[in-house]
Amino acid sequence: MKTLKLRIKDKHADQLNKIAGSVNYAWNYVNDLSYKHLKQTGKFFSAYDLNEYTKGSGEYLGLHSQTLQAINETHAKSRKQFKKAKLNWRTNRPDAKRKSLGWIPFKKSAIKHLHSKQTGNKALKSTIQLSLSKGQKFIIDVFDSYNLSLYQINTLEIVQDSRNHWYACITVKDFPKQISGKGSVGIDLGLKESATTSNGDKLTTKQTQKWAKKLAVAQRAKNKQRVKAIHAKIKNSRLDAIHKFTTKLAKDNALIVVGDVKSRSFTNKRTKLAKSTYDAGWFELKRQLEYKCKYAGCQLEIVNESYTTQTCSHCHKISDSSPKGRAGLGIRGWRCAECGTWHDRDINAAKNILAVGLDRLAEGIPSL
pLDDT tens string 143-195: 988 888 878 899 999 999 988 899 999 998 755 544 444 578 999 888 888 88
Residues 184 and 269 in one domain: yes
Q: Are 215 and 230 in contact (CB under 8 A)?
A: yes
| Nearest partner of 6 among 112, 156, 192, judged by Cα | 156
* Cβ partners under 8 Å of residue 299, min gap 6: 254, 255, 256, 293
Q: Residue 356: which of 150, 185, 158, 171 has the closest Cα?
A: 185
Overall number of domains in the chain: 3
- Is the same domain home to 226 and 301? yes
Closest CA to 192 of 346, 43, 75, 314: 346
Residue 276 has pLDDT above 80, yes or no: no
Q: What is the pLDDT of residue 355?
A: 86
DSSP character at residue 62:
T
* pLDDT class of 265 with cuts at 50, 70, 90: low
The DSSP bridge pattern shows strands 195-197 and 183-189 to be antiparallel
Give the residues across from 183 on adjacent strands. 253
229: containing domain: 178-368
Higher pLDDT, 109 or 368: 109
Same domain, 65 and 117: no
Do 228 and 163 contact (CB within 8 A), yes or no? yes
Assign residue 311 the CATH number of its domain: 3.30.420
- Using a pLDDT cut of 70, give the percent of the chain over it: 89
Q: What is the mean pLDDT of residues 79-107?
A: 89
- What is the tens place of the pLDDT at every residue in 182-230? 578 999 888 888 889 988 898 887 777 788 889 899 999 999 999 999 9
What is the rounded distance in angstroms from the CA atom of residue 31 to the CA atom of residue 182?
A: 54
312 shares its domain with 193: yes
Percent of the chain with pLDDT strictly greater than 90: 38
DSSP category for residue 311:
B
Distance CA 211, CA 205 (A): 12
pLDDT at 104: 96
* CB environment 3-13: b (16+ within 10 A), e (fewer): ebebebeeebe
Q: Report residue 3's pLDDT band, with 50, 70 and 90 as the boundaries.
A: confident
Last residue of a domain, one of 95, 127, 151: 95
Statement to judge: residues 195 and 268 lie in one domain: yes
Residues 303-338: b if buried by 16+ CB within 10 A, e if exposed: bebbbbbbbbbbebbbbebbbeeeeeeeeeebebeb
**Whole-prediction pTM:** 0.67
Least confident of 81-95, 97-111, 120-134, 225-239: 120-134
pLDDT at 357: 84
Same domain (yes/no): 270, 361: yes
Contact in structure between 273 and 228 (CB atoms under 8 Å): no
In this structure, are 235 and 352 located in the same domain?
A: yes
Which tens digits make up the pLDDT trace of 40-78?
999 889 999 999 999 999 999 999 999 999 999 999 999
Domain boundary, last residue among 78, 95, 112? 95
Decide if pLDDT at 367 tops 70.
no
Mean pLDDT (whole number) for 100-127: 87
Q: Are residues 52 and 91 in the same domain?
A: yes
290 & 212 share domain: yes
**pLDDT the model gives residue 102:** 94
Q: Are residues 342 and 245 in the same domain?
A: yes
Last residue of a domain, one of 44, 70, 95: 95
Helix (H) or strand (E) holding 158: strand 153-160
What average pLDDT does the segment 244-248 reach?
90
Q: Are residues 210 and 306 in the same domain?
A: yes
The whole-angstrom separation of Cα 142 and Cα 111 is 14
**Whether residue 142 sits in one domain with residue 49:** no
